[in-house]
Amino acid sequence: MNLNIDSRKADQQVRGVTQLPNGLGKTVRVAVFAKTDKHDEAKKAGADIVGAEEFVEEVAKGKVDFDRCIATPDMMALVGKLGKVLGPKGLMPNPKLGTVTFDVGQAVKAVKSGQLEYRADKEGIVHAGIGKVSFSEKHIQENLSSFISAVVKARPSGAKGTFVKSISLSSTMGPGIRIDQSATGK
């Protein structure tokens, strides 16, 4: 989605998460930074890696074999030191995105069931995977509609004029196909 924003201005940042109705179609490896009393809750919810201080040390050495990261607020003092490792990869836990929470079980389930994180880049373009080629047309359409709604709701107050300039849909290495915005109802 190409948005009519100036991403250099702090009041025009577009970032958030949304739950896709049909998931992403891929398995997501989730790491949880939590004290020992939350380890069982995270494991039961489906977390792939759960740890505390020793796990922070492993990640600090560069061992990052997960796609999403969740932390409890009491662990953020330690996880904050991993900013140089996790930040450039876009994995740093953030309260706005729901990845810093004491309810780790619910957060892990949400991530595993197809929660999509999106962010506008410096040109004001939001790139996001909304499904697989193997999805039915109906499932892709539902996911696309949900994604467009989430981005439109995240419209910053500083954005003037038409918010969404254009929308394109493509496979990973395929050509982009323009989407008629009047057909999306957004």
- Residue 62 CB neighbours (<10 A): 7
For residue 16, the domain's CATH number is 3.30.190.20
Tell me, yes or no, whether 108 and 119 share the same domain. no
Task: Select from 112, 134, 158 the last residue of a domain.
Answer: 112
- pLDDT tens for the chain, 186 residues long, are 999 888 788 888 888 888 888 888 778 888 888 888 888 888 888 888 888 888 888 888 888 888 888 888 888 888 888 888 888 888 888 887 788 888 888 888 888 887 888 888 889 899 988 888 888 999 999 989 999 999 999 888 878 888 889 999 988 888 988 988 776 655
Residue 185, φ and ψ in degrees, nearest 5: 80, 15
Count of domains forming the chain: 2
Residue 68: which domain range? 30-112
Structure tokens at 133: 């080629």
Task: Select from 49, 77, 112 the last residue of a domain.
Answer: 112
Tell me, yes or no, whether 102 and 51 share the same domain. yes
pLDDT of residue 129: 87
Tell me, yes or no, whether 48 and 76 share the same domain. yes
Tell me, yes or no, whether 21 and 62 share the same domain. no
Tell me, yes or no, whether 122 and 108 share the same domain. no
- Residue 117 CB neighbours (<10 A): 16
Q: Where are the alpha helices (DSSP H) in the chain?
A: 39-45, 53-60, 76-79, 83-86, 104-112, 137-153, 181-184
Q: Alpha-carbon distance 153 to 96, whole Å?
A: 15
Kindly state the DSSP code that residue 129 receives in the 8-state scheme.
-
Tell me, yes or no, whether 77 and 101 share the same domain. yes
Question: Is 52 in contact with 16 (CB distance < 8 Å)?
Answer: no
Among 23, 20, 1, smallest CA distance to 123 is for 1
Tell me, yes or no, whether 80 and 125 share the same domain. no
pLDDT of residue 183: 66
pLDDT of residue 167: 92
For residue 96, the domain's CATH number is 3.40.50.790
pLDDT of residue 186: 55
Tell me, yes or no, whether 108 and 139 share the same domain. no
Tell me, yes or no, whether 54 and 9 share the same domain. no
Tell me, yes or no, whether 78 and 100 share the same domain. yes
Task: Select from 90, 112, 134 the last residue of a domain.
Answer: 112
pLDDT of residue 13: 85
Among 98, 130, 184, 170, smallest CA distance to 22 is for 130
DSSP states along 63-115: ----SEEEE-GGGHHHHGGGHHHHTTTT----GGGT-B-S-HHHHHHHHHTTE
Tell me, yes or no, whether 35 and 102 share the same domain. yes
Tell me, yes or no, whether 106 and 145 share the same domain. no
